[in-house]
Amino acid sequence: MESTHRPSLPVSLLTLFLYLLLFIAKAQDLRKQKPWNHTVSAIYVFGDSTVDPGNNNYVTTAFRSNFLPYGMDFSNQIPTGRFSNGRLTTDFMASYMGIKESVPPYLDPTLSIEEIMNGVSFASAGSGFDPLTPRISGVIEISKQVEYFKEYKKRMELVIGKQRMENHIEKAIYIISAGTNDFVVNYFTIPVRRKTYSITAYQQFVLQMLKQLIQALSNEGARRMAISGLPQMGCLPIVITLNSENAIQNRDCIELYSSVARVYNMMLQNELEYMQLRLASHGFRIYYVDIYAPLDYMIQGRGKFEFDEVSQGCCGTGYLEAAFLCNPKSYVCPDASKYVFFDSIHPTEKTYYNVFQAALPVINMLISD
């Protein structure tokens, strides 16, 4: 009687066949998730709360967000220290580039060198280009962020060697996002800088500090950078609240703050164009990322962006709450995606995603260089 069973493959051949299937599936998955890894080795981030994924968790400061409702829409509803209900623009960038799904904070002691090798943020919420700004909140100065980057490079060198480390650093993308705190928290709130600088002089001073950061990173091997401009500062809920005669009834943007941002952004673009011309021969690429226009687009309700609330945050009253004032006992709106802002200062994940979408042309130029 003939056997009804099919002849079996030898164990070694079967194992090889299974490994081959697994390899093909994995390769397809990698092609799907990491289309740009042949040109971008890592993403490194410097700046303030717009790009801080949780470094302030490890700093003695009240300016933290490692508690709910922050992170309520993040993976597994984990409050990581991001000042939002979910991911940041840099997280979406890293995912789009095929590097990683989210950018971790450098100061997290639980991260291995393998976990931070392809991307890490040195940013600190509350920081700014003006050295005085981070001292107000007791957070990490920009110069210290650069020192952490140098420390990071040494750690990398011990693992992969100096030459590979330098190649890795050169093929990375560098994101810089800061400046809002310099004006909103520093210049317009405390009198120290206003006694010395006119607003124009202070804009030039902040730009000079930014140029020093760009030069410092260039000296460390950075070759591809994206620099964020200022947002529409006059439309931040906290700015409206503190500068309106009747902030509950009148939620119009404060033009003074927004005009300062527009002028600064023009000055910044001119500086970056000049730096690009001067350093292009050294393989240096630097791009301006406009966040003013996308935010204005969302707030004014034009185009495809639709929000129910554009002048107050999702957390608490939405007028003043941020950091510890937005906490597990705070009221939280039913759907954060209907809000431009999550607290009185910081955007929702949806807003950050829209900013990412608007920045795609710049991102594509960065990763194709």
Q: What pLDDT score was predicted for residue 279?
A: 79
For β-strands 173-177 and 43-47, DSSP reports them as parallel
Catalytic residue among 52, 91, 108, 346: 346
Average pLDDT, integer, range 56-73: 98
pLDDT > 90 in the chain, percent: 85
**Residue-level pLDDT at 298:** 95
Q: Are 46 and 120 in contact (CB under 8 A)?
A: no
**Res. 47: pLDDT tops 50:** yes
Least-confidence region, from 181-195, 241-255, 277-291: 277-291
Largest CA distance in the chain: 103
Cα dist from 332 to 50, 68, 70, whole Å: 21, 10, 10
Asked if 152 and 120 count as a contact pair (C-beta separation under 8 A), the reply is yes
Closest of 130, 117, 132, 111 to residue 54, by C-alpha: 111
Q: Is 60 exceeded by the pLDDT of residue 25?
A: no
How confident is the model over 66-80, as a mean pLDDT? 96
In this prediction, residue 67 has a pLDDT band, given cuts at 50, 70 and 90, of very high
Q: 351 and 310 in contact (C-beta within 8 Å)? A: no
Q: Please, where are the H alpha helices in 190-236?
A: 192-196, 199-219
* Fold entry, domain 37-233+255-292+349-368: Rossmann fold (3.40.50)
Tally of CB atoms within 10 A around 234: 20
343 pLDDT more than 90: yes
Please choose, from the candidates 73, 107, 92, the residue with its C-alpha nearest in 3D space to the C-alpha of residue 335.
73
- 3-state SS of the chain: helix, strand, coil percent to 5? 50, 10, 45
pLDDT of residue 313: 98
Q: Which of 29-33, 116-120, 143-147 has the lowest mean pLDDT?
A: 29-33
> CB of 134 within 8 A of CB of 145?
no
Structure tokens at 289: 């990322």
Catalytic residue list contains 343: yes
Q: What does the pLDDT read at residue 369? A: 64
What secondary structure letter does DSSP report for 244? -
pLDDT-based confidence at residue 228 (cuts at 50, 70, 90): very high
**pLDDT, mean over the chain:** 91
Tokens (6 digits) for 93 = 């960038």
pLDDT for 151-196, tens place per residue?
A: 999 999 999 999 999 999 999 999 999 999 999 999 999 999 999 9
- Look up the pTM and report it: 0.89
Identify the bridge partners of residue 177 per DSSP, sorted by sequence position: 47
Q: Is 335 a catalytic residue?
A: no
Confidence of residue 28 (pLDDT cuts 50, 70, 90): very low
The percentage of residues in the chain with a pLDDT greater than 70, rounded to a whole number, is: 89
- Helices 199-219 and 142-160 cross at an angle (nearest 10°) of 10
Q: Is 5 a catalytic residue?
A: no
Cβ-Cβ contacts under 8 Å for 7 (sequence gap 6 or more): none
Residue spans of the domains in the chain: they are 37-233+255-292+349-368
pLDDT computed for residue 283 by the predictor: 86
Catalytic residue among 73, 108, 130, 343: 343
- pLDDT digits 0-9 by tens, 288-300: 999 999 999 999 8
Residue 184 gets which letter from DSSP?
I
For 316-351, the DSSP string reads TTSSS--GGGS-TTS-B-S-GGGBSBSSSSSB-HHH
Strand partners, 315: 332
**Cβ–Cβ < 8 Å for 85, 69:** yes
Q: How large is the average pLDDT for residues 89-116?
A: 96
Query: Catalytic: which of 41, 49, 65, 121?
Result: 49
